[in-house]
A = this chain, B = another copy of it.
Amino acid sequence: MAAIDKKQEIMAVGKLMVQAHGYNALSFREIAKVVGVKSASVHYHFPTKGDLGAALARRYTEDGVAYLGGLLEDIKNPAVLMQRYIEIFRSVLENENRMCLCGIMAAERAHLPIEVRVEVGAFIDANVAWLTKVVELTGMASGKVAEQQALAIFGALEGAQLIARGRGAVEVYDQMVATYRTTGLMP
């Protein structure tokens, strides 16, 4: 069988770099070393760093959407759905203190090339859309109000992940989520 596509290898290596240290830690020279080519070759596949970043974010969103869509088909209980969603954010944190690829990019968003920013926006939109459905399933709210609550939930979880990561303690994430729940922000 043929060797794995260089393009796929580059994306795999790049994804880990971003999750570990953010977009600006993406290094063409570093990727080249790991993949076993020269940095100019990486530019052949992804002309600019922005192209690579955008490709990573787009792929990540596609995978996430597929996964969340599956959950929505399999599970009808909104509390369980939310629990699963919370666990996604948690498991990424547990995995070498990484962050959701788009979450960390959202944090860097201001100094991101426009093409990456667009993909990160698409990720946020997809998440809020999914959360809106879950909120509606709970009967807590519907329509515009449900969407607003979904956005608030997303923002709160992003913030919790960020701070827990800064502390290097998953327990901080758990604690914050627990408070979000008891205060009624999320089911």
Residues of A within 8 A of B (CB): 20-22, 24-25, 97, 99, 104, 106-111, 117, 120-121, 124, 148-149, 151-152, 154-160, 162-163, 165-167, 172, 175-176, 178-180, 183-185
Overall SS of chain A's interface? helix
Partner of A108, one of B22, B121, B180: B22
- Quote the shortest CB–CB distance from A27 to chain B (angstroms): 12
CB of A25 within 8 A of CB of B108, answer: no
> How many copies of this chain does one complex carry?
2
**A–B complex contacts, Cβ < 8 Å, 5 sampled:** A21-B110, A106-B166, A109-B166, A159-B160, A185-B185
Partner of A22, one of B110, B121, B179: B110
Partner of A159, one of B108, B158, B167: B158
CB of B124 within 8 A of CB of A110, answer: no
Q: Which of A22, A159, A178 has the most CB of B within 10 A?
A: A159
Across the two chains, which residue of chain B brings its CB closest to A145? B179
CB of B111 within 8 A of CB of A183, answer: no
CB of A155 within 8 A of CB of B165, answer: no
Partner of A156, one of B107, B155, B165, B184: B155
Contacts of A175 in B (CB 8 A): 148, 151-152
